[in-house]
């Protein structure tokens, strides 16, 4: 579907304008949104707007494309990653911008674009709106959508950390690696978007005035904050992993201690019992009236001595369960 | 609460001045402190001072915000992290500065700001004080407050290192990871503050004379020192962790050796005892008068040989407890 | 074999021209392809074209040579890595280019060069083709050939990750290290090719117009994308390895628990049985009518208590098999 | 103690001059050494020399201070780390220098300063000595003192590496981490001293002629060499640690193999013995005349088969002790 | 031994010229080689050539010296690492060069210098040879000598990798760390030589024409290739180490499984046998005619069930030996 908005010089705004009409001089500038376009509609990028084939190729291809900004001589073309509702697999938004035009192109329905389009469609007075304002609004929305995802990462890491020494920590590490995987996806979108915003701040292709620059600077700031949060989480997740390994090794030590203590106490006792279970014709001890009780006593003595030795060298410690306090990494 | 101090051209200082009055020409410059402001008071940032909405938003939002410096055309706005009494979760201090004004804004009571405000309020003569001096005093206080925290990190690491080979080292690693977590928080505050100070040294928005520059340079120096200490501690904490792993693996080796020695000595003995406990009608050894004593001798021989073999290959070593000398990492 | 194509000023193209003839003024420019040349043919590089001995040496030597671009005064010489069908061991393609000449040299049959040569040979009209277009086409083909290999890496990593907790994971890690090895090979080709393309974009030796520059920029973009994918895969493969280690350690813990539980339950029971198998003349319990049943009861009691203790401390957990969902790292 | 040396224009040198006299025009330049000054003497820094309070604070404070160079308008102030006899905890040496003055300040006795002072004091002819020569001599001495420490690190690492597979390697890792700790201390002194020397080479505050520059360049060279040696040692120590872990894991494997072999051989034998120790009224084998010998044969057979199986799968290997050749890392 | 070659303006070359004569105007330029000089001969560096004492010190000292280039005003002094026949401990070659002179100094016999010297000595016609050509030839020889060493590293790594899962992998890791050690030595020579060559390409002290520059560029290229190979090998060796750890952990798992399976099968059986070996006066089962056979049956049943359980959970897997294909990392 192709949606259009035309803005006259007096600030009034009209929608549902045909693509031929919208490029005429009656409009100061216009926004054309290719929302999940059909292959037929995709061709308008070339036939109506005459965009460069390389930019058109980047739009149409459904392959992964990293955020980037290309300067074609009459317009800039750039590409952002927007986050969808449920996954961390970013959706692409392609934008063609100059001072008279904003063309957006996306293969999937995008919340941030929709909201803005409908808002402009239904309010009558739109003073002082120009393509730069629109681009700011779209980019701001897209960047703001990252925050809940990034905070979600933190929640998951905290949840995993709290459970590190539970016995059911069986697939905890697996979850941790999934979270790291998601972090990597976010980072792969945010790092080039940081560079892109830096270039957008310094492009001469569209006229961003000093006041508008402050607003783009503010988005740039947020992206830096998001990137730093992800760096922090990465370190944190490495520490969780390393801690898990040491907890796991502690557990193994405990299990082995138990095994060793039991074996070391019972082996000599069982041996003694076996000794007096032998059928030699002449074993003097067997004939003592109280031999059995003496042996029982010796056995008790051996077990007791062993017990105190193990307590001395610390092998009779039992694992206390540790309480974790939940904490926030970033938000206070 | 909004607190005010107005400084006349002759250096005299008055407090409790209303916000309207303070901007008049009778004051050479003024300090307004928004100390835990109510939502009503927060609005003065816009209505009285007409600060830029983006800066106001950064002030008012209670979200984590990284230290940064923004140059609005008539003033600079910057944001520092101050450390509270008990935790490592930094508190934000927002400052608006130009040559005629210092506005500070903070959602929590801050020691460093309070001390300075009260000092200025109660002493009558304040020669040669200007906004730059005040900013220096505040930033100096805030940075100085980091030192005990950073030294505290060192103490904790030393304490953990000393106990690495204790048997009760059970949740030692957990504590280590908590310390690393705190270090990360401090680093997250200090790294952008280092950059901020560098930019403050080079800003043209406020007039810092050569002499004052030396003083800011001194703070910058301290922040670099703090950052280097944290880097050192990070390396040190990694080494503690790695050492713990090797100590832990040594322990496991010891436990396994004990188990193996005991098992290897008693298994053959128990087998022999079992052998002569069989009920076959014809077992010649059983009928020898001294069979029992011969078998006892053989058993003793086996045990002795085993014992020497194990001593030879070094499996009869017992863990000596290691003494750690406490050492200082940074302070001599 | 040496293949030639001569392009006249009117755009017509002729093949099978002798090396002497092709340098004459009747051709606007020409392409000479040294395809698996014989030692005899290799000498033409010097005798006919008088290329610099260092460049000729780089061509002829069959040693590994990293992609690079050298500026000899009358032409540029550069060297690319092309991927063959089945392995990740790149093949070299050497190119000598100026505005009147394209000479390609390769010791192995290269798909990308062949396709292009045959396409030019069989179509009659070749408007607006110049050496720069040809170089673009060749480099574009070569870079495009990397994508299936890089996606293949992703598939292998996903396949390995899915099987991480299978019991047959025996040589999984070995395969992982082989994949890492292949990734390293790809990286070793792609990193210098990224630099080479950057230099090609900025060379003044061949005249690349603004329009053509966009096309080289597009290839540069693809190489950056490939490099970033490899970086991502490297992180991902490290995480798989670390996860494998934690899965492996979990398994060991389970095995040790089983061993310890079994040993701890049966050792006391066997000891008791051994106790009453002793042949002392006076063991009162043996003479009780129901002694056997009492002992059986005691044994059952011990076993039951042990069982509940182990369940309490969580050592009776059995490894559930985990289901992995397959996911895509890059493509959506 | 404050020691002074005054140099006349004719090159003659006088000592024991009072602080008031020394600043007079009769001396071309002078050296004042604050050697472990009393609090009273420390005040001369301000009262006599009028040094900047920030520099004075850096001198007097006994806190750790990183090497740095500050340019005060009439002199440069810098701070070096000198190594004491027995530990790696550097001592601070503060220097104030311009073309007419060298003031050194240190809280501890420093060999390098003492030697130089006494040498100047006792030789009568000091042609062509100026503050820059003195600074060079002091800095050269201080840097040269690092070499034995750094070579000492190498010796310790070699000693640790040689003993990696000894059985008494118990606290080897602990020593390794102590060495790493010392390396970190050296690095913390040397890295900022490298930067400091670079700045000293480029300062305009003191006049270093081309010839003198070569000499400072030579010291700079040595510091770079020291830093590179430490980097190498760091890598080497990491490899020792990793190797220790693999040696340790090898040992564990050996221990477990022994345990498993012994257990696996004796368990079935003991079971068979137990079988024929049962007291059933009818066990046919027990009544065979040669039953006992047949069972002994079967047992021997089982043990032999087991033995060959274990030899086949390689579990009967015994740890050979490995010989390490001692080698030099840096010195040939 | 001091060897000399004097080149006249007509290109003729004479050897065995005394040091006094060689500096006279009859020679266009000369080469003096200090080959393992005696202390007496070393003094000529100062007395005859008047080289700077710092450069002379660097020559004469037998300490490790990193490759570097120093610009003394009349000549450049630089220092290379040459590889000897059998070890990776580089030998130093010191060179003093300007347009009229080449002085080489080395404490050990160096192949690359000898070959060149003898070649010049024995051929009569030496057209177009100048000090720059000689320096190129020497540096080229020295760099070329690195290749077999670096390829040797690769062979060793491949050999180690192939044997990773052999049982005799006992000191494999030790060898790996030795190889890493050698790699580090090579890197320590090659990294500064790369920088040195870069500076040599850009020095203005000796006149390198455009053509000669291409030749030095070619050497620079080779050094970059060597450095990249070493980086690759470093990664590869880390992967071998990590793989070894996972192979080792797999082995441990197998051993533990065997132990657990054996223990778990025989412990209950041995317990049952012990049970019916007790001497209670009344154990009903013992009096059944077929009691023994029933018990044997029960035992067989228990063993069979256990066997199937272990097969189900995968603990009865036996380690297949893995076949490694040998592969080349760099050469195709
Ligand atoms: Mg697309
Ligand atoms: Mg926003
Ligand atoms: Mg916002
Ligand atoms: Mg997963
Ligand atoms: Mg903001
Ligand atoms: Mg936490
Ligand atoms: Mg705020
Ligand atoms: Mg301070
Ligand atoms: Mg201070
Ligand atoms: Mg914790
Ligand atoms: Mg200071
Ligand atoms: Mg310490
Ligand atoms: Mg080649
Ligand atoms: Mg392409
Ligand atoms: Mg394409
Ligand atoms: Mg392999
Ligand atoms: Mg593209
Ligand atoms: Mg995945
Ligand atoms: Mg001090
Ligand atoms: Mg020196
Ligand atoms: Mg010296
Ligand atoms: Mg220690
Ligand atoms: Mg030197
Ligand atoms: Mg060594
Ligand atoms: Mg030397
Ligand atoms: Mg060469
Ligand atoms: Mg060559
Ligand atoms: Mg070694
Ligand atoms: Mg070459
Ligand atoms: Mg690593
Ligand atoms: Mg290989």
- Residues A185-233: pLDDT tens digits? 999 999 999 999 998 888 777 777 888 888 999 999 999 999 999 999 9
**Protein residues near ligand 8, an ion, with CB under 5 A:** B 140, 144
Across the range E17-38, mean pLDDT stands at: 92
Question: In this predicted structure, what is the pLDDT of residue E168?
Answer: 53
pTM here is 0.83
Question: In this predicted structure, what is the pLDDT of residue E55?
Answer: 94
> Between chains, do E322 and C171 touch, taking CB under 8 Å as contact?
yes
CA separation for the pair C131, C98 (Å, rounded): 7
Higher per-residue confidence, D93 vs D125: D93
Dihedral sign computed on CA atoms, order E256, E258, E263, E265? positive
Nearest to C13 by CA among C101, C100, C102, C129: C129
Question: Nearest CB to D277: which of B277, B314, B327?
Answer: B277
> Between chains, do E184 and D235 touch, taking CB under 8 Å as contact?
yes
- Is the ipTM of this structure higher than 0.85? no
Q: Are C259 and C252 in contact (CB under 8 A)?
A: no
Higher per-residue confidence, E60 vs C313: E60
Q: Are D310 and D316 in contact (CB under 8 A)?
A: yes
CA separation for the pair C107, C123 (Å, rounded): 27
- For residue E148, the surrounding DSSP H or E stretch is helix E146-162
Question: In this predicted structure, what is the pLDDT of residue A53?
Answer: 92
User: Does the domain spanning C2-243 belong to CATH 3.30.460.20?
Assistant: yes
**Model confidence at C125, in pLDDT bands (50, 70, 90)?**
low
> Between chains, do B66 and A225 touch, taking CB under 8 Å as contact?
yes
Measured in angstroms, how far is the CA atom of residue B86 from the centroid of ligand 19?
29
Question: In this predicted structure, what is the pLDDT of residue C324?
Answer: 47
Across the range E145-165, mean pLDDT stands at: 87
CA separation for the pair A78, A203 (Å, rounded): 12
Measured in angstroms, how far is the CA atom of residue A325 from the centroid of ligand 10?
8
**Model confidence at E317, in pLDDT bands (50, 70, 90)?**
low
CA separation for the pair D117, D134 (Å, rounded): 10
How many other C-beta atoms can be found within 10 angstroms of the C-beta atom of residue D325?
6
User: Would the pLDDT of E237 be above 60?
Assistant: yes
Instruction: Just give the CATH number of C249-312.
Output: 1.20.58.340
**If you ran DSSP here, which 8-state letter would residue D281 be given?**
S
Strand intervals (E) in chain A: 2-7, 13-15, 29-35, 68-72, 75-82, 91-98, 101-106
Token code pair at residue E166: 């052999």
CA separation for the pair A130, A126 (Å, rounded): 9
Question: In this predicted structure, what is the pLDDT of residue E11?
Answer: 79
Nearest to A33 by CA among A90, A112, A86, A91: A112
Is E92 in a helix, a strand, or coil?
strand
Q: How many Cα atoms are found within 13 Å in the side-chain-facing hemisphere of E246?
A: 25
Chain A residue closest in CA terms to B170:
A250
What long-range pairs does E55-60 form, CB within 8 A, spacing at least 24? Answer: E55/E94, E55/E96, E58/E94, E59/E34, E59/E94, E59/E105
Token code pair at residue B109: 């009571």
Chain E residue closest in CA terms to D219:
E54
Measured in angstroms, how far is the CA atom of residue B143 from the centroid of ligand 9?
10
Ligand closest to CA E136: 26
Token code pair at residue D328: 């030099």
> Between chains, do C210 and A63 touch, taking CB under 8 Å as contact?
no
- Residues D134-177: pLDDT tens digits? 999 999 999 999 999 999 999 999 888 887 766 555 578 888 98
Give C-chain residues touching E330 at CB under 8 angstroms.
64
The single residue listed with the structure tokens 């003694």 is: A272
> Between chains, do D280 and E279 touch, taking CB under 8 Å as contact?
no
User: Would the pLDDT of D332 be above 70?
Assistant: no
In sequence order, the β-bridge partners of residue C122 are none
3-state secondary structure chain C: CEEEEEECCCCCEEECCCHHHHCCCCCCEEEEEEECCCHHHHCHHHHCCCCCHHHHHHHHCCCCCCCEEEEECCEEEEEEEECCCCCCCCEEEEEEEECCEEEEEECCCCHHHHHHHHHHHHCCCCCCCCHHHHHHHHHHHHHHCHHHHHHHHHHHHHHHHHCCCCCCHHHHHHHHHHHHHHHHHHHHHHHHHHHHHHHHHHCCCCCCCHHHHHHHHHHHHHHHHHHHHHHHHHHHHHHHHHHHHHHHHHHHHHHHHHHHHHHHHHHHHHHHHHHCCCCCCCCHHHHCCCHHHHHHHHHHHHHHHHHHHHHHCCCCCCCCCCCCCCCCCCCC
User: Would the pLDDT of A321 be above 60?
Assistant: no
Nearest to C253 by CA among A34, A97, A169: A169
User: Would the pLDDT of C49 be above 50?
Assistant: yes
Question: Nearest CB to C274: which of A62, A173, A277?
Answer: A277
Range scoring the smallest mean pLDDT among B23-27, C105-109, D29-33, D199-203: D199-203
CA separation for the pair E78, E66 (Å, rounded): 10
> Between chains, do B273 and A275 touch, taking CB under 8 Å as contact?
yes
Question: In this predicted structure, what is the pLDDT of residue C321?
Answer: 45
User: Would the pLDDT of D325 be above 70?
Assistant: no
Q: Are E104 and E113 in contact (CB under 8 A)?
A: yes
Give B-chain residues touching D171 at CB under 8 angstroms.
322
**Model confidence at D213, in pLDDT bands (50, 70, 90)?**
confident
CA separation for the pair B106, C297 (Å, rounded): 73
Token code pair at residue E77: 């002094």
How many other C-beta atoms can be found within 10 angstroms of the C-beta atom of residue C248?
20
Q: Are B49 and B55 in contact (CB under 8 A)?
A: no
CATH code 3.30.460.20 region(s) in chain A: 2-243
Q: Are E35 and E1 in contact (CB under 8 A)?
A: yes
Nearest to A142 by CA among A212, A80, A68: A80
> Between chains, do A224 and B66 touch, taking CB under 8 Å as contact?
yes
Across the range E307-327, mean pLDDT stands at: 66
- Residues D47-80: pLDDT tens digits? 999 999 999 999 999 888 889 999 888 899 999 9
- Residues E86-131: pLDDT tens digits? 777 889 999 999 989 999 999 999 988 998 999 888 776 556 688 8
Question: In this predicted structure, what is the pLDDT of residue E253?
Answer: 83
Chain D residue closest in CA terms to B251:
D170
CA separation for the pair B259, B263 (Å, rounded): 6
In sequence order, the β-bridge partners of residue B71 are B76
**Consecutive sets of 10 residues in chain B, 332 residues long: mean pLDDT of each?**
90 88 90 95 94 93 88 91 84 93 95 90 70 92 92 90 67 86 91 91 78 89 92 91 84 85 91 90 88 92 92 70 49 39
Angle between helices D111-122 and D131-144 (to 10 degrees): 140
Angle between helices E210-275 and E172-202 (to 10 degrees): 160
Give E-chain residues touching D327 at CB under 8 angstroms.
181
Q: What are the Cα distances from residue B12, in Å, to A254, B207, B292? A: 72, 21, 109
Range scoring the smallest mean pLDDT among A5-19, B267-281, C161-175: C161-175
How many other C-beta atoms can be found within 10 angstroms of the C-beta atom of residue C97?
22
Across the range D95-110, mean pLDDT stands at: 94
Q: What are the Cα distances from residue C318, in Å, to A285, C251, C263? A: 47, 10, 17
Q: What are the Cα distances from residue D135, in Å, to D35, D58, D114, D129? A: 16, 19, 13, 10
């Amino acid at each position: 579907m192709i949606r259009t908005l035309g803005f006259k010089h007096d600030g009034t705004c009209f929608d549902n304008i045909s693509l031929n009409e919208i490029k005429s001089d009656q409009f100061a500038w216009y926004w054309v949104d290719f929302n999940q376009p059909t292959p037929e509609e995709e061709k308008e990028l070339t036939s109506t707007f005459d965009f460069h084939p390389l930019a058109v190729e980047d739009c149409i291809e459904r392959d992964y494309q990293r955020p980037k900004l290309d300067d074609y001589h009459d317009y800039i073309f750039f590409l952002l990653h927007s986050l969808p509702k449920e996954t961390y697999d970013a959706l692409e938004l392609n934008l063609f911008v100059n001072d008279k035009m904003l063309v957006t192109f996306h293969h999937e329905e995008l919340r941030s674009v929709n909201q803005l389009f409908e808002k402009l469609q239904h309010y009558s007075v739109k003073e002082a709106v120009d393509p730069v304002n629109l681009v700011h609004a779209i980019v701001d929305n897209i960047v703001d959508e990252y925050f809940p995802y990034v905070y979600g990462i933190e929640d998951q890491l905290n949840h995993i950390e709290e459970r590190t020494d539970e016995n059911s920590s069986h697939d905890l590490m697996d979850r941790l690696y999934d979270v790291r995987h998601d972090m990597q996806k976010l980072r792969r979108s945010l790092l080039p978007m940081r560079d892109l915003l830096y270039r957008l701040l310094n492009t001469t292709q569209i006229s961003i005035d000093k006041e508008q620059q402050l607003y783009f600077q503010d988005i740039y700031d947020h992206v830096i904050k998001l990137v730093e949060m992800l760096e922090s989480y990465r370190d944190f997740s490495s520490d969780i992993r390393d801690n898990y390994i040491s907890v796991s090794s502690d557990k193994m030590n405990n299990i082995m201690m138990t095994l060793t203590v039991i074996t070391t106490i019972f082996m000599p006792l069982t041996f003694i019992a076996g000794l007096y279970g032998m059928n030699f014709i002449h074993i003097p001890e067997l004939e003592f009236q109280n031999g059995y009780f003496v042996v029982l006593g010796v056995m008790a003595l051996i077990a007791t001595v062993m017990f105190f030795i193990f307590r001395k060298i610390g092998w009779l410690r039992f694992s206390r369960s540790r309480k974790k306090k939940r904490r926030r990494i970033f938000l206070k």
